[in-house]
Structure 1
Amino acid sequence: MDLFSSSSSLKKLFAIVFVAFAISIEFVAGYYRPSPWRYAHATFYGDETGSETMGGACGYGNLFNSGYGLDTAALSTTLFKDGYGCGQCFQIVCVNSKHCNYGRPSTVVTATNLCPPNWYQDSNNGGWCNPPRTHFDMAKPAFMKLAYWRAGIIPVAYRRVPCKRSGGMRFQFQGNSYWLLVFVMNVGGAGDIKSMAVKGSRTNWISMSHNWGASYQAFSSLYGQSLSFRVTSYTTGETVYAWNVAPANWNAGMTYKSGANFR
């Protein structure tokens, strides 16, 4: 056997393995760890159907279609962070109240909306979402998992937990051929987004600016190109690449699924 030829083949094998590993780590970031427990209060809005929770300040639209269902909450301004809190997951448990359900069960909710401040009410008497309070205005079905709904408001303990999602991130397109607005849903891990970039099949990476809620925009002519996205977590700073998410004939109003996600 030719030693040089064998060595060359071995080097090629190592190169292939390295490239495969590099690609794999682009798709799967490290696990997000739960945060320490903290204290806040929780109320609810809407009725048992959850119809009033649809839409919301994060831009997820119909929460059933988006995969979030009724285990959701609107966050006070302090937690919402101008939309960077969208998609975060919180484990919440009722504490120190006679209205807590038996056994004090916990539930996990996704942040899908903003609970705006009410400056006409005292922060301790109706203005529950006024800064600097941390407050959860939950969908009624989620609240009822914790306490009797007639309580109205309850003290809670909460912590950030990993968002357990099925499948990859979803990218809903709005805009036109010169302005791409993307709502990102089904984000795992920390659940939130700090920044995004888009790459057309004929362009380099183009930084996207934060629009509102969980949406990011690019003012570029990208129609007719397949699109890939680079997504960075607000909490962890980790980055995941979602390659070839949308085909070259993509259209506004469509939602495209990727195989990439945080965990």
Structure 2
Amino acid sequence: MGFPLSHYCCFLCVIVLLPVLCKCEDTFTYSRATYYGSSDGLGTPTGACGFGEYGRNVNGGNVGAVSRLYRDGTGCGACYQVRCKMTNLCADDGTKVVVTDHGGGDDTDFILSQRGFSMLARPNKTADLFAYGAVGVEYRRVPCQYPGSNIFFKVHENSRFPDYLSLVMLYQAGLSDITAVDIWQEDSQVMEEHEEELWRSVGHA
């Protein structure tokens, strides 16, 4: 349930945990990746993570949807180095993508924006790589880097004063996952994870 927002002298406490799925920064996991179409090659503003326009443009549009790495929304905002395995077509370092959506298919862990998928290719090999549709890749979790920001809170457009507050976590730097958010005002309130890494305020017993 919501609560009145009229006394917002509050303190936010963000609890983070190191990612369970990250065995080691130097360890790659083998999988497959494909891409989705968009008019400009960037991400989608309607992704499951609820990032809106931020999810379309963050990281230069090098973004993607994930399946099992989504982890009920905890995986939103995570950064991964992804590189494909065809040495004649694929750049050695691949690219870094930010998770902004949930999706899967064709035994893939990543569905990349067209911009992100194109960054996997060597110069002048982009069209050849796109012709495959889905390619074998290896990936690893890497730190997100946003100069000047460790974390940024956005009040989501779905918030309705004075009854409902919804926050989105943007510019989540480093390798950590956000697992809980607490908020205090006159009475202790806890911010409980809402679907797609939005956060809804509920009374804390």
Query: Same fold by TM-score, threshold 0.5 exceeded?
Result: yes
2:99 equivalent among 96, 111, 118: 111
- One-letter code of the match for 1:169? I
Specify the alignment match of 2:167 in structure 1: 182
- One-letter code of the match for 2:76? C
C-alpha contact 2:79 2:142 (8 A) present in aligned 1:
yes
C-alpha contact 1:56 1:113 (8 A) present in aligned 2:
yes
CA spacing shift, 1:66–1:171, aligned 2, 3 Å: farther
Helix, strand or coil at the partner of 1:208: strand
Kindly report structure 1 stretches of 4+ aligned residues shifted beyond 3 Å.
29-33, 64-69
- One-letter code of the match for 1:183? V
CA spacing shift, 1:61–1:35, aligned 2, 3 Å: farther
C-alpha contact 2:43 2:56 (8 A) present in aligned 1:
no
Q: Does 1:193 align with 2:178?
A: yes
Percent sequence identity over aligned pairs: 27
- One-letter code of the match for 1:86? C
CA spacing shift, 1:52–1:90, aligned 2, 3 Å: closer
Query: Structure 2 matches for 1:1-263, cutoff 5 A?
Result: 34=25, 36-47=27-38, 49-50=40-41, 53-63=44-54, 67-76=58-67, 78-95=68-85, 97=86, 100-101=89-90, 103-116=91-104, 127-128=105-106, 133=107, 135-147=109-121, 148-166=129-147, 167-173=149-155, 174-190=159-175, 192-200=177-185, 202-204=186-188, 206-219=189-202
Q: With the length of structure 1 as denominator, give the TM-score of the two structures.
A: 0.58
- Measured against aligned partners, the alpha-carbon deviations of 1:71-120 in whole angstroms (never above 9, x if no partner) come to 101001x111111110111001111x36633x43311000000115xxxx
- Structure number with greater CO (CA < 8 Å, separation at least 6) is 2
Q: With the length of structure 2 as denominator, give the TM-score of the two structures.
A: 0.73
Which one has a bigger Cα radius of gyration?
A: 1
Consecutive unaligned residues in structure 2, runs of 5 or more: 1-12, 122-128
- One-letter code of the match for 2:71? K
Helix, strand or coil at the partner of 1:39: strand
What is the alpha-carbon distance in structure 1 between the residues aligned to residue 160 and residue 41 of structure 2? 28
Consecutive unaligned residues in structure 1, runs of 5 or more: 1-25, 117-126, 221-263
CA spacing shift, 1:196–1:66, aligned 2, 3 Å: farther
Give the superposition deviation at 1:161: 0.6
